[in-house]
């Protein structure tokens, strides 16, 4: 394999919606999108926060803090029933797909671990290697706002990084990306490709992705989920919960930026597989852009190529490479934002 191919990694950001509160149906969907990413040449694919079996949107919209509410108790019991348990084999199909296709996967799940008695659920980031093995499970350190009515606080055991191609990859869930010490824990392990997992919506990612890239002198991917009322199965016990909710609860979105300036197109309104192009006309042309440490994938409502709400599912692609052969040189270059650079290959 040529040296430049060994130093290149094509990544996929799968912006998809769950089959809300249906673990098996959502996992089948995840496996399908892993296949699409592999077919597009990706060596790594990431999914949004809490995708399996879905974010607890009902809490905000159904008086979730009401004491001794049968509605809340029944819904939470269903949520626990549909949560993923790694040791029970719930992610075996995802692991098998990763191994079969030779692709690493980062997946947002609601985890119900047996070693905590099965009474608590955690917002967990699962990293699965291209060998199909679960490399680490990171439980969100501190759930945010109404999430605390459903999710238990996690711990630092899963603050780990893993080699993926020429990169050292780490990831954090949602508000953890605002926490300086959680970021520092990953930086200290040599992270140079950071994945920020979000449930969706521009307000979550508008400011963070830019400063993560600047601070870490690393590549940053922000991957969000989608959630529409139509994503709730008609026969689900939770179907009536969102009847009066907005049509779109999470609008996803993705765009390339460098130091706050627009670099590429959004994926929030696309269907199927869509590459992110370099800025500038003609839109849709095959182009290439310099992709230096400090560049990021994130949504922007100001970007004219974005259409919000993003009501369709998309696989956004970017290929980065041309890293120095020496890992020590690469690390030095990342810190100094010097000659270490990558090239983002795009084709619409």
Q: At 256, which helix (H) or strand (E)?
A: strand 256-258
Domain assignments of the chain as residue spans, ordered by start: 3-346
- For residues 13 and 281, the model is more confident at 13
* Exposure b/e, 155-173, CB count within 10 A at least 16 = b: eeebbbbbebbbbbbbbbb
The residue from 29, 49, 111, 176 that is catalytic is 49
- Bridge partners for 108 per DSSP: 125
The tokens for 155 are 């711990």
The tokens for 25 are 């149906």
User: HSE of 245 in the Cβ direction (CA atoms, 13 Å)?
Assistant: 24
First to last CA, the chain: 26
- Residue 226 in contact with residue 200, Cβ under 8 Å? yes
Alpha carbons 315 and 99: distance in angstroms, whole number: 20
Q: How confident is the model at residue 8 (pLDDT cuts 50, 70, 90)?
A: confident
User: HSE of 338 in the Cβ direction (CA atoms, 13 Å)?
Assistant: 8
The residue from 42, 95, 123, 174 that is catalytic is 174
3-class DSSP state for residue 210? helix
What pLDDT digit, counting tens, does each position of 324-342 carry?
A: 333 322 222 222 222 233 3
Alpha carbons 178 and 223: distance in angstroms, whole number: 15
Alpha carbons 4 and 107: distance in angstroms, whole number: 28
Mean pLDDT of 205-213: 81
Q: Which of 29-38, 228-237, 310-319 has the lowest mean pLDDT?
A: 310-319
Mean pLDDT of 25-53: 95
Q: Which fold would CATH assign to domain 3-346?
A: Nitrilase/N-carbamoyl-D-aminoacid amidohydrolase (3.60.110)
Alpha carbons 322 and 316: distance in angstroms, whole number: 21
The tokens for 122 are 């955690």
What's the distance, CA 49 to chain centroid?
Answer: 6
Mean pLDDT of 171-193: 95
Residues in contact with 326: Cβ distance below 8 Å, sequence separation at least 6, in sequence order: none
The tokens for 308 are 């919000």
Catalytic residue list contains 133: no
Q: What are phi and psi of 339, to 5 degrees?
A: -75, -15
pLDDT surpasses 60 at 264: no
Alpha carbons 280 and 265: distance in angstroms, whole number: 10
3-class DSSP state for residue 139? strand
pLDDT surpasses 80 at 171: yes
The tokens for 311 are 């009501």
Q: What are phi and psi of 86, to 5 degrees?
A: -60, -45
pLDDT surpasses 60 at 286: no
Query: Among 12, 73, 6, 16, which Cα is nearest to 41's?
Result: 12
Alpha carbons 307 and 31: distance in angstroms, whole number: 27
How deeply is 210 buried, as exposed, middle or buried, from its count of CB atoms within 10 A (0-12, 13-18, 19+)? buried
| pTM for the predicted model, two decimal places | 0.79
What pLDDT digit, counting tens, does each position of 93-137 carry?
A: 999 999 999 999 999 999 999 988 888 999 999 999 999 999 999
Mean pLDDT of 12-22: 91
The residue from 111, 123, 140, 306 that is catalytic is 140
Quote the longest CA-to-CA distance of the chain: 63
The pLDDT of residue 319 is 58
Catalytic residue list contains 140: yes
Mean pLDDT of 63-87: 91
The pLDDT of residue 332 is 21
How deeply is 291 buried, as exposed, middle or buried, from its count of CB atoms within 10 A (0-12, 13-18, 19+)? buried
3-class DSSP state for residue 116? helix
The tokens for 271 are 């269907």
Distances (CA, A) of 284 to 10, 143, 181, 306: 19, 40, 40, 13
């Amino acid at each position: 394999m040529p040296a430049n191919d060994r130093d290149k990694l094509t990544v996929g950001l799968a912006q998809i919606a769950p089959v809300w509160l249906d673990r098996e149906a959502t996992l089948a969907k995840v496996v399908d999108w892993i296949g699409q990413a592999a077919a597009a040449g990706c060596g790594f694919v990431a999914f949004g926060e809490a995708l399996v079996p879905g974010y607890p949107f009902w809490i905000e919209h159904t008086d979730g803090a009401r004491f001794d509410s049968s509605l809340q108790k029944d819904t939470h019991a269903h949520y626990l029933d549909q949560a993923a348990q790694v040791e029970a084999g719930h992610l075996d199909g995802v692991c098998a797909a990763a191994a079969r296709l030779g692709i690493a996967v980062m997946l947002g799940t609601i985890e119900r671990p047996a070693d905590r008695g099965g009474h608590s659920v955690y917002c967990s980031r699962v990293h699965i290697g291209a060998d199909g093995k679960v490399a680490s499970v990171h439980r969100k350190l501190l759930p945010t706002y109404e999430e605390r009515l459903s999710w238990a606080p996690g711990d630092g055991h899963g603050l780990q990084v893993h080699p993926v191609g020429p990169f050292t990859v780490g990831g954090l869930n949602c508000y953890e990306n605002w926490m300086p010490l959680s970021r520092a824990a990953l930086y200290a392990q040599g992270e140079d490709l950071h994945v920020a997992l979000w449930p969706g919506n521009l307000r979550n990612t508008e400011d963070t992705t830019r400063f993560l890239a600047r601070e870490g002198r690393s590549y940053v991917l922000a991957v969000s989920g989608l959630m529409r009322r139509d994503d709730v199965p008609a026969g689900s016990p939770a179907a009536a919960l969102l009847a009066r909710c907005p049509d779109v609860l999470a609008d996803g979105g993705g765009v390339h930026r460098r130091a706050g300036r627009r670099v590429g197109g959004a994926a929030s309104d696309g269907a199927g597989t869509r590459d992110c192009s370099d800025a500038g006309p003609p839109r849709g042309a095959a182009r290439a852009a310099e992709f230096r440490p400090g560049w990021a994938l994130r949504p922007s409502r100001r970007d004219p190529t974005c259409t919000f709400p993003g009501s369709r599912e998309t696989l956004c692609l970017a290929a980065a490479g041309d890293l120095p052969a020496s890992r020590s040189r690469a690390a030095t270059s990342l810190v100094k934002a010097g000659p270490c650079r990558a090239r983002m290959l795009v084709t619409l």
